[in-house]
Structure 1
Amino acid sequence: MRILLTGAAGFLGSHLTARLLSEGHSVVAIDNLSTGRIKNMGPFVENDKFEFMEHDVRDPITVEVDQILNFACPASPIHYQSDPVRTIETNFLGMINLLHLSKARDIPLLQASTSEVYGDPDISPQPEEYWGNVNPIGIRSCYDEGKRASETLCFDYKRQYGIDTRVIRIFNTYGPNMAIADGRVVSNFIVQALTDQDITIYGDGSQTRSFCFVDDLVRGILKMMNLPYSPDTPINLGNPNEFTMLELANKVIQMTKSNSKIDFLPLPEDDPRQRRPDISKAISLLNWRPEVELDEGLGRTIEYFSGELKQ
């Protein structure tokens, strides 16, 4: 197929591009390079089945493709909060523009949503039926509510126009190709440990996250993409193994043999206390579950950042 991939120069987009090309698809890669890195596209530029376009999804686009994968939006709080208006516009206007293309071409669209739609959850693990506990006017709401609005649009277009829209809710994902200044917890901890800086933990470190290695996530995305029908539900994709921030920090210090100390800072506004996916739908509908354990994934990610820091 000829696939339109937005957010292609980002962390997840670069891994998806590699996988799609390896499976024989053609990729029209789109990114406005606000947070994506053109170097992530370097390995593909000589491939005849790869085409890169610098474009902002907030502007309409017309292109001949067979499927759309929408990954256009900063996913790190430090990035999506730096320009909150652009963030919510990307989620809302970008979604509308891509849905218009999907409708005009009568092609499937897969939307990359997020576990952030659950907000600071009152229940754990979080099933897809849970409506969430989200502050609509807080500093994270440009992303949280933006993604919730994107899901609304996908399902309204599905019901009203019969469009094949598919929504995945991605939980914390990590791996090679993350930027050094990405701002997410795994990359922060690893870079700080490798450079013997203090590791910053917000709050007392008891808040939890579940970490999915990028290879596992890409497998799940492709299974969702290739599903022969359009599910009438979002599907959680993440690793249900749960770790506290303090456990993660100590593990990174141990694996990097770092001299870093831990520095506790105030917890940011609306920072979730818990994040753990219920993946029973992914198991039953996609026959998918993560395979890479945290130690293995961290080892591969530490190796990547060690190389990046030497450049």
Structure 2
Amino acid sequence: MRVLVTGGAGYLGYSLTNYLNELGDISEVIVYDNLSRVHPNFFLGSKKLNKTTFIKGDILNTDKLIKILKNIDVVYHLAAHTPFPKNHLENFRYEQINQWGTLNVVNAIKRVETVKKIIFLSTSAVYGNRHEISPEAVPQPQNAYSKSKYEAEKYVKALSEKCEINVIRSGNIFGYNLCFRLDAVINNFIFESIVNKKIQIYGNGKQMRPFIHIDTLCMYLVDLLEDFSTSQTTKTIADFNSNLNQIKQILLDNLPELEYIYLNQNLSFDSHSLHKSLLLDKGQETLIKKSFLNFKNHIRIK
């Protein structure tokens, strides 16, 4: 089995590629990435990826995509524009990369015969700012980023007669690897607490989000390789819901000398959370502590 991972040199791609490289059923993993984030850490680490090939390329390059897709069995489509904060200044890039870039991937897949499955990483943000979002909830995207991902879902689902489709609406990803993102709130809090012994909380800290550890998500994505059918599935997953105050308290328990400051504490921000039936029932405190220790063990200062 040959697997293509678009955006594979990014944060999630780094860990997912490590998992895929170890699978006996996979003969080759091709990482296709334009390196727009200028993150050379993907190429670092003690583990040799003997089944993995890196190809620099853009999902907007149709001819190159078609060439790379030949003899590919499974596509993990992770490539996306995801800067923080998600605001109107990035609207064009969201539309260009997340929406039209995905359409380009879909059209390229239509022109090759071998692809049997596409696994597309979407976001739980497509549901908008609501609490206890149920499995039956209808998406109501409320910003340019979530709208671009929801439109991208529609393009991917147009492949239903071509191959199996798995759309994964993930919570906010956190956890350590060499390509970790500091604009992920838990990663940012952990990094700042270890390096600066201080974190900043915007607003009153009550804003709620669903979160998923990067290892949890990778294992779920890898498990999707076990079953090939003509089905089309959309799955929303996260480990737990949490607000910033709860995350702060867990970090305080692990680092009592931690300082924290609230900026504009009188402000409240929009929240969204998932119904417990969509949560994987992984312990919030356990997973945040695991991430804290992983960061601490890899940071080279006392």
TM category (shorter chain) comes to 0.7 to 0.9
Tell me what 1:220 maps to: 220
CA distance in 2, matches of 1:67, 1:125: 30
Cα shift readout 1:16-66 (whole Å, capped 9, x = no counterpart) = 101101113211001222236221233488433110112121222121311
Change beyond 3 A, Cα 1:31–1:162 = closer
Tell me what 1:184 maps to: 184
CA distance in 2, matches of 1:28, 1:267: 48
Tell me what 1:243 maps to: 242
RMSD: 2.8
Please tell me whether residue 195 in structure 1 is matched to residue 195 in structure 2. yes
Change beyond 3 A, Cα 1:245–1:189 = same
Please tell me whether residue 262 in structure 1 is matched to residue 261 in structure 2. yes
Query: How many residues matched?
Result: 292
Question: Where does the alignment leave 5 or more consecutive residues of structure 2 unmatched?
Answer: none
Tell me what 2:271 maps to: 273
Would the aligned equivalents of 1:45 and 1:51 in 2 still touch at CA under 8 Å? no
Would the aligned equivalents of 1:13 and 1:71 in 2 still touch at CA under 8 Å? yes
If the length of structure 2 is used for normalisation, what is the TM-score?
Answer: 0.85
CA distance in 1, matches of 2:177, 2:123: 19
Q: Among all aligned residue pairs of Structure 1 and Structure 2, give the percentage whose two residues are the same amino acid.
A: 21
Question: Where does the alignment leave 5 or more consecutive residues of structure 1 unmatched?
Answer: 281-288
The SS at the match of 1:209 is strand
Shift of 1:101: 2.8
Shift of 1:247: 0.9
Task: Tell me which of 72, 78, 86 is aligned to 1:71.
Answer: 78
Task: Tell me which of 118, 123, 136 is aligned to 1:114.
Answer: 123
Tell me what 1:124 maps to: 132
If the length of structure 1 is used for normalisation, what is the TM-score?
Answer: 0.82
Would the aligned equivalents of 1:124 and 1:276 in 2 still touch at CA under 8 Å? yes
Would the aligned equivalents of 1:21 and 1:27 in 2 still touch at CA under 8 Å? yes
Q: Which amino acid aligns with 2:119?
A: L
Task: Give runs of aligned pairs for residues 1-311 of structure 1, distance below 5 A.
Answer: 1-24=1-24, 25=26, 26-35=28-37, 37-43=39-45, 46-60=48-62, 61=65, 62-63=67-68, 64=70, 65-78=72-85, 83-106=90-113, 107=115, 108-121=117-130, 123-127=131-135, 129-135=136-142, 140-141=143-144, 143-158=145-160, 161-177=161-177, 182-239=182-239, 241-265=240-264, 272-277=270-275, 279=277, 290=280, 292-310=282-300
